[in-house]
């Protein structure tokens, strides 16, 4: 198994990319950017308190040439108020098809922080059965630091089409033509009920990607009205521990060390969570590098769990909203 981003400056068909390693280097992407069966997705997204507009930055500041914008807050389940939950299979297929993505495409996903929200979109495609998807190691910052060109203007047409396609599906309207077919991987997506059962049955080790202060209930959650704390039985491995100082994924030996230090066995099943299901996917990305390709993500994560009236939670002074 590879322990570093695929790194070659020779033109290669995306067919030659290995699915063993979940990230690819900026050098590889630069060399293969014009391959017809390769599409690049800007999946930038930021926490509410960062006050950054990823769509505006994509359109007016910088993006990798030819990249499409994947709106994490737009390509979502429209039947819930929980943030950026997975849409239905039909809705995802419609949105992705509206972006011109096909099942035989290789996809490279990046974000504006290095490795952050791109891991979420990598996991989304895998959850819907698409294996030929990789995260750009170091993201847009590493791309720019390497001296590669960016574009600073883009139409909002594709973004609007994806949002409209999602809306039509949830309104019961027919959307077409579809260029992307889904094959939902149920084992990669956990619900509240599965987490509830796991507290009793302990079939899976549960890892939370939030910061230790949030996990311990001594620092506030970034979303108003959500108290901090954690799901009973879960362990905390903050997602930055998967990354080095340049926001690239750590090599396998370093990743193993991080999990071993927290008593996580790579021989047993694992489920990850976080605040709203975004940074949990960074843990899943790291585990994928270690050969754990079946790690589940609790999509609703802490935000869904803690607002229920009947779910146990470890919080400071045991107070619930």
CATH number of 282's domain: 3.40.250.10
Residues 166 and 190 reside in one and the same domain: no
Give the pLDDT confidence of 33-74 residue by residue, as tens digits.
Answer: 999 999 999 999 998 889 899 999 999 999 999 999 999 999
Clarify whether residues 279 and 234 are in a common domain.
Answer: yes
Query: Residue 179: inside a domain, yes or no?
Result: no
Asked if residue 180 belongs to a domain, the reply is: no
Same structural domain for residues 165 and 234? no
Same domain, 149 and 221: no
Same-domain pairing of 44 and 146: yes
pLDDT at position 318 is 44
For the chain, counts of helices (H) and of strands (E): 11, 10
Instruction: Decide which of 12 and 262 is more confident.
Output: 262
State the pLDDT confidence band at 316, using cuts at 50, 70 and 90: confident
Q: Are residues 195 and 283 in the same domain?
A: yes
- Give a yes or no: residue 2 inside a domain: no
Residue 152 has pLDDT above 60, yes or no: yes
| Mean pLDDT, residues 272-300 taken together | 98
| Predicted local confidence at residue 82, as pLDDT | 96
d(CA 291, CA 308): 34
Question: In the chain, how long is the greatest CA-to-CA distance?
Answer: 59
Average pLDDT of 118-123? 98
- 30 with 166, same domain: the answer is yes
Q: Is 301:280 a contact under the CB 8 Å cutoff? A: yes
Q: Which residues carry out catalysis? A: 274
**Domain that residue 225 falls in:** 186-318
Q: Is the pLDDT of residue 209 over 90?
A: yes
């Amino acid at each position: 198994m590879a322990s570093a981003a695929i790194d070659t400056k020779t033109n290669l068909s995306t067919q030659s990319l290995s699915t063993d390693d979940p990230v690819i280097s900026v050098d590889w992407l630069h060399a293969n950017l014009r391959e017809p069966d390769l599409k690049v997705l800007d999946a930038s997204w930021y926490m509410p308190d960062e006050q950054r507009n990823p769509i505006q930055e994509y359109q007016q500041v910088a993006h990798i040439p030819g990249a499409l914008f994947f709106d994490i807050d737009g390509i979502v389940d429209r039947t819930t108020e929980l943030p950026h939950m997975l849409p239905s299979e039909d809705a995802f297929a419609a949105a992705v098809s509206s972006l011109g993505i096909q099942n035989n495409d290789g996809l490279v996903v990046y974000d504006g922080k290095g490795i952050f929200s791109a891991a979420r979109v990598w996991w989304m495609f895998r959850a819907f059965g698409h294996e030929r998807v990789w995260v750009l190691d170091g993201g847009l910052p590493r791309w720019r630091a390497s001296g590669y060109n960016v574009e600073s203007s883009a139409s909002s047409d594709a973004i609007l089409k994806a949002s409209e396609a999602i809306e039509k599906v949830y309104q019961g309207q027919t959307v077409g033509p579809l260029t992307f077919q889904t094959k939902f991987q149920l084992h990669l997506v956990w619900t509240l009920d599965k987490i509830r059962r796991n507290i009793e049955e302990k079939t899976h080790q549960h890892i939370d990607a939030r910061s230790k202060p949030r996990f311990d209930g001594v620092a506030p959650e970034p979303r108003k009205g959500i108290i901090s704390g954690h799901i009973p039985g879960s362990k905390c491995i903050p997602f930055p521990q998967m990354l080095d100082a340049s926001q690239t994924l750590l090599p396998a030996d370093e990743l193993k060390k991080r999990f071993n230090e927290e008593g996580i066995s790579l021989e047993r099943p694992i489920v990850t969570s976080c605040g709203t299901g975004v940074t949990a996917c960074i843990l899943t990305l790291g585990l994928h590098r270690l050969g754990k390709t079946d790690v589940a993500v609790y999509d609703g994560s802490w935000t869904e769990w803690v607002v229920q009236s009947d779910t146990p939670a470890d919080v400071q002074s045991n107070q619930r909203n």
